[in-house]
Amino acid sequence: MKVAVTGSSGYIGSVLCKTLKEQGQYVLACDTSERKTHHYTDMFINESFDGDVFVNTIISHNVECIFHLAASSLLGPSATDPLLYYHNNTARLITFLSKLRSRGWKGHIVFSSTAAVYGDRGEPVKETSIKVPCNNYGRSKLMCENVLEVASLYGINVTMFRYFNVAGGYGDVGQDFSEPHIITRICNAADGKSPLVVYGNAYPTPDGTCIRDYVHVRDICAAQIYAMDNHLYDTFNLGTLNGTSVLEIIEAFEQENAVRINFSFGNIRKGDPSYLVANPQKFVDTGFEYKYSNINQIVKSAWEHYNGV
């Protein structure tokens, strides 16, 4: 089978391409020039996913499944430059779908959505939970979901995954350590490159820091391929039902990797939920099994990726 991956040079995209190639798939990929490339593709197109070259190549190569990961995704910039998020995430998706429709493409789109569509919740959320995004990133992704709900009218089948906190690495591919995610910042602090600032310690949680549901990136990618292979056209949470606070993940990182993390507390970030954990039962009931998503494996693989192990 020939598949396409948008956002192929990003964190999840790079791990997904590597996993697909290991399984013998032909991978057509696209990303923009400011991102690093890797060698886990058969054809790479340097442009936005809604560009004519990429869309035409999907058609000419008879691509059957598109893994759509390309997005602006950082919480901070979504507050300061929201139009960028609505343009890159939502408007470009509409353009992309319109071009696919005009060329008669009928296939499977596996879409990367986010737990940010739910907003701040005090209990594990189901797919049917009310969506009240508390930041522009989540709002733009919820708009994308609404757009994709009509794709079936044009013969396009869609799987939508709401990712919770994706973490961990896979050897030579993983997170860009210049990005401000908690585990990347912990790695930089462990290496002495930059001090770690924890954003707030007065949340309504047991230790005062945010609680998140961390999912290993390898399980995220395995789930996407599982949905393709089993023709699952629905919306699913990808999480573990287990919440880990920021202080708990720092402690796990120290114990698993035998390092010491010095940190201080800073201000709470606007739009940061205090508690966001998945009820993943709907996807588990399809037969999918999480293999890597315990916090010790996550922090160990992240540190190994950081050190090029």
What CATH number should be reported for the domain holding residue 190? Answer: 3.90.25.10
Q: Could you tell me if 191 and 146 lie in one domain?
A: no
Q: Could you tell me if 188 and 230 lie in one domain?
A: no
Closest by alpha carbon to 78, among 10, 6, 138? 138
Q: Could you tell me if 285 and 186 lie in one domain?
A: yes
Tell me the range of 23-37, 62-76, 82-96, 115-129 where mean pLDDT is highest.
82-96
Question: Which active-site residues does the annotation give?
Answer: 137
* 134 belongs to a structural domain: yes
Q: What is the DSSP string of 270-305?
A: TT--SEE-B--HHHHTTT---SS-SHHHHHHHHHHH
3-state secondary structure of 265: strand
Express each pLDDT in 276-302 by its tens digit: 999 999 999 999 999 999 999 999 999
The pLDDT, as a whole number, for residue 34 is: 61
Q: Could you tell me if 85 and 137 lie in one domain?
A: yes
Express each pLDDT in 253-283 by its tens digit: 999 999 999 999 999 887 788 999 999 999 9
Place of tokens 């996807």: 283
The pLDDT, as a whole number, for residue 280 is: 97
Q: Taking a C-beta distance cutoff of 8 angstroms, is the pair 295, 258 a contact? A: no
- 200: DSSP letter: -
CA–CA gap between residue 90 and residue 32 (Å, rounded): 17
User: What's the chain's length in residues?
Assistant: 309
Q: What average pLDDT does the chain have?
A: 93
**Domain count of the chain?**
2
CA–CA gap between residue 125 and residue 239 (Å, rounded): 10
Q: Could you tell me if 108 and 69 lie in one domain?
A: yes
Q: Could you tell me if 262 and 290 lie in one domain?
A: yes
Strand runs (DSSP E) across the chain, as ranges? Answer: 2-6, 26-31, 43-46, 65-68, 108-114, 157-163, 165-167, 196-199, 211-212, 214-216, 235-238, 244-245, 263-266, 275-276
Q: Could you tell me if 205 and 221 lie in one domain?
A: no
Tell me which residue range forms the domain holding 186: 182-212+242-306
CA–CA gap between residue 271 and residue 204 (Å, rounded): 15
Q: Could you tell me if 7 and 135 lie in one domain?
A: yes
* 172 belongs to a structural domain: no
* 271 belongs to a structural domain: yes
Helices 182-190, 295-306: axis angle to 10 degrees equals: 60
* 276 belongs to a structural domain: yes
Global pTM reads 0.93
Q: Containing H/E element for 226?
A: helix 217-229
The pLDDT, as a whole number, for residue 174 is: 87
The pLDDT, as a whole number, for residue 19 is: 98
If phi > 0 it is left, if psi is from -120 to 50 it is alpha, else beta; for residue 29 that is: beta
Radius of gyration of the chain (CA): 19
Q: Could you tell me if 128 and 207 lie in one domain?
A: no
Q: Which residues contact 91 (CB under 8 A, 6 or more apart)?
A: none
CATH number at residue 19: 3.40.50.720
Q: Could you tell me if 135 and 200 lie in one domain?
A: no
* 151 belongs to a structural domain: yes
Q: Containing H/E element for 257?
A: helix 246-257
* 177 belongs to a structural domain: no
* 79 belongs to a structural domain: yes
Q: Could you tell me if 60 and 201 lie in one domain?
A: no
* 106 belongs to a structural domain: yes
Q: Could you tell me if 119 and 250 lie in one domain?
A: no
